[in-house]
């Protein structure tokens, strides 16, 4: 018996490998069923073998807490004047350069958020494997041994017995269960040292229980049906998550691009202010300009440097947060390229977009199918109001009772047979009626949730289409602003003596705002187009997170 237990422990790893293979096969089946191509990948945790020792630490109850008092924590004040450079020291290590596609690919491979979503899909597949196993033939083998002694005036007659119960059970598709057992027993009289003191016999036992009313039909398979459907829901949810995840990563990356462009614009602004400051200072020294004009120019330069330092710090913080989201170590230096999705604006009417979205949205399909689940649960609750009418039967075939050591010499002529019908009159179904009412109310709630989801999705799609139009309009406006700002600077440069320091400062500020606003509008357009594809579930994502072009779509970078 100890050897069998040890063998079972050593076979654990092989059994888990078989589970992994069956899980992947099931995931592949369901993923292809919803016309998706990407299977979730998850790291297989190492399973300790039977002799790996305890999984707990030396003291699993008394945990150590590090919380020193104030006098145990050292603090060194900074000496000297404030730093001239608020930024961190320059990074000496080689930075990882990422464009948009590389950033999405890195996030798909390393993001904790993505991994958690993939594991949720895997868990649903394992739940289905568990439920399917319950509906297949299940084998059991139990070995029992015991020693007994019966006393008679101080004299004890001792005996030892061993019973092996090998059985198989099978649940029936429309309710009930059948089982078959082989019960083998052997007994020894321990007081007898000589002679034949062993008794051996065996029995074949067949049993069956079949419900005819309550618990019969499809109601008996409700758990299996729901598990099958839950895996389809999980496949849709994982595919929908992948699209939302790519949208979020792309939006964050484009935001970093805008911040990077704003810093470049701010650097040019500082340079322009410095040139204006030098010019005003030269005019003041030559007596051609009042001193306060040079002071105004110097202030503008200082303000611009302060804004630049703040933008650079905010950019570093945004980079660190982006690293956390894509799963990159925060200490790893990272640089981004000025990149774009290159998505063309779609020519689509609002009503057409809504119709497409209501037809394709995977989460809306889940809500619709969950309404069918709620209706089915009402049927199951109504089935529980029926009387219990069960058909049962058994057969027991022993070995030859005339043989002390019968072995496997079964004697069908000595079999015991029995059958019966049990009717449980439903005198008390108060709880079942209350649960039926709960199921009916829950079905109404699911129906309202489906209706609300449908309306909410329609509103979001309409907003997504309008956002594209708004972004296109904003781009045209900001392009005009940039042209006007450049003409304004050019006119000042053409007649420098007719412009004050404030005029130059205002012109530089106006150009900076226009260029920053144009970069934001260009980012907003790409995000709006991607958001429209996501809202209508027309967004298609490849295995590495790459955005797949649709028929007729040409990506321009």
**Percent of the chain with pLDDT strictly greater than 90:** 50
**Across-strand partners of 475?**
none
Place of tokens 């009626």: 433
pLDDT at 203 over 50: yes
Please give, one letter per residue, the 3-state secondary structure of 438-482: HHHHHHHHHHHHHHHHHHHHHHHHHHHHHHHHHHHHHHHHHHHHH
Q: pTM for the whole thing?
A: 0.84
For 393-407, how does the pLDDT look when each residue is reduced to its tens digit (9 = 90+)? 999 988 877 777 756
* pLDDT (mean) for 113-134: 93
Distance, in Å, from the CA atom of 289 to the CA atom of 496, rounded to the nearest integer, reads: 12
The rounded mean pLDDT for the chain is 85
* pLDDT (mean) for 527-553: 91
Does residue 118 sit in helix, strand or coil? helix
Does residue 196 sit in helix, strand or coil? coil
pLDDT at 30 over 80: yes
Would you say 318 and 255 are in contact if contact means Cβ atoms under 8 Å apart?
yes
For 257-281, how does the pLDDT look when each residue is reduced to its tens digit (9 = 90+)? 999 999 988 898 888 888 877 877 7
Distance, in Å, from the CA atom of 377 to the CA atom of 393, rounded to the nearest integer, reads: 30
Give the pair of three-digit tokens for residue 292: 């306060």
For 214-241, how does the pLDDT look when each residue is reduced to its tens digit (9 = 90+)? 999 989 999 999 999 999 999 999 999 9
CA angle 340, 241, 250 (to 5 degrees): 15
Would you say 424 and 387 are in contact if contact means Cβ atoms under 8 Å apart?
yes
Distance, in Å, from the CA atom of 227 to the CA atom of 419, rounded to the nearest integer, reads: 34
Distance, in Å, from the CA atom of 235 to the CA atom of 241, rounded to the nearest integer, reads: 10
User: What pLDDT score does 93 carry?
Assistant: 54
For 453-507, how does the pLDDT look when each residue is reduced to its tens digit (9 = 90+)? 999 999 999 999 999 999 999 999 999 999 998 888 888 777 776 777 677 788 8
Other beta carbons less than 10 A from residue 469's beta carbon: 12
Q: How far is CA 9 from CA 3, 17, 24, 45, 420, in A?
A: 10, 14, 24, 17, 42
For 141-189, how does the pLDDT look when each residue is reduced to its tens digit (9 = 90+)? 999 988 888 777 667 778 888 888 999 999 999 999 999 999 888 877 6
């Amino acid at each position: 018996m100890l050897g069998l237990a040890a063998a079972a422990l050593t076979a654990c790893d092989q059994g888990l490998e078989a589970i992994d293979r069956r899980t992947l096969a099931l995931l592949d089946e369901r993923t292809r069923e919803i016309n998706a191509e990407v299977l979730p990948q998850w790291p297989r945790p190492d399973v300790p073998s039977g002799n790996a020792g305890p999984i707990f630490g030396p003291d699993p109850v008394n945990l150590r807490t590090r919380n020193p008092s104030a006098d145990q924590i050292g603090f060194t004040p900074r000496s000297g004047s404030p730093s001239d450079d608020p930024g961190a020291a320059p990074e000496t290590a080689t930075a990882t350069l990422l464009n948009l596609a590389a950033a999405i690919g890195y996030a798909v491979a390393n993001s904790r958020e993505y991994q958690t979503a993939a594991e949720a899909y895997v868990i649903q597949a394992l739940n289905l494997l568990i439920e399917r196993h319950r509906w297949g033939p299940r084998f059991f083998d139990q070995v029992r041994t015991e020693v007994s002694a019966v006393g008679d005036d101080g004299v004890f007659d001792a005996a030892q017995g061993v019973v092996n119960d090998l059985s198989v059970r099978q649940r029936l598709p429309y309710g009930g269960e059948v089982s078959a057992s082989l019960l083998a027993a052997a007994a020894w009289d321990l007081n007898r040292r000589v002679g034949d003191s062993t008794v051996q016999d065996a029995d074949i036992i067949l049993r069956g229980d079949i419900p005819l009313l309550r618990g019969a039909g499809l109601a008996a398979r409700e758990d299996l049906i729901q598990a099958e459907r839950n895996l389809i829901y999980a496949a849709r949810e994982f595919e929908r998550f992948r699209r939302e995840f790519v949208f979020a990563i792309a939006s964050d990356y484009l935001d970093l691009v805008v911040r990077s462009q704003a810093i470049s614009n701010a650097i040019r602004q500082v340079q322009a202010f410095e040139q204006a400051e030098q010019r005003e200072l030269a005019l003041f020294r030559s007596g051609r300009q009042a001193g306060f004009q040079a002071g105004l120019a110097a202030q503008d330069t200082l303000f611009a440097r302060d804004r630049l330092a703040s933008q650079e710090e905010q950019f570093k913080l945004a980079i660190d947060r982006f690293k956390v989201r894509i799963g990159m170590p925060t200490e790893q230096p990272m640089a981004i390229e000025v990149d774009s999705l290159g998505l063309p604006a779609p020519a689509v009417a609002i009503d057409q977009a809504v119709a497409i979205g209501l037809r394709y949205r995977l989460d809306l399909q889940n809500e619709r199918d969950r309404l069918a689940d709620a209706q089915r649960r009402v049927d199951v609750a109504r089935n529980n109001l029926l009387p219990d009418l069960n058909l049962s039967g058994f057969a027991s075939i022993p070995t030859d009772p005339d043989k002390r050591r019968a072995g496997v010499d079964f004697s069908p002529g000595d079999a015991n047979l029995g059958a019966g019908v049990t009717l449980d009159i439903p005198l008390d179904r108060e709880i079942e009626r209350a649960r039926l009412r709960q199921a009916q109310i829950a079905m109404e709630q699911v129906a309202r949730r489906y209706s609300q989801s449908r309306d909410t999705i329609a509103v979001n799609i309409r907003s997504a289409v309008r956002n594209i139009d708004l972004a296109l309009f904003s781009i045209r406006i900001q392009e005009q602003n940039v042209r006007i700002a450049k003409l304004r600077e050019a006119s000042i440069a053409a007649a420098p003596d007719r412009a004050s320091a404030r005029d130059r400062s205002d012109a530089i500020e106006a150009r900076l705002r226009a260029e920053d606003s144009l970069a934001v509008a260009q980012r907003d357009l790409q995000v709006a187009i991607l958001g429209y594809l996501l809202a209508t579930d027309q967004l298609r994502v490849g295995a590495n997170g790459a955005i797949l072009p649709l028929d007729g779509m040409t990506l321009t970078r």
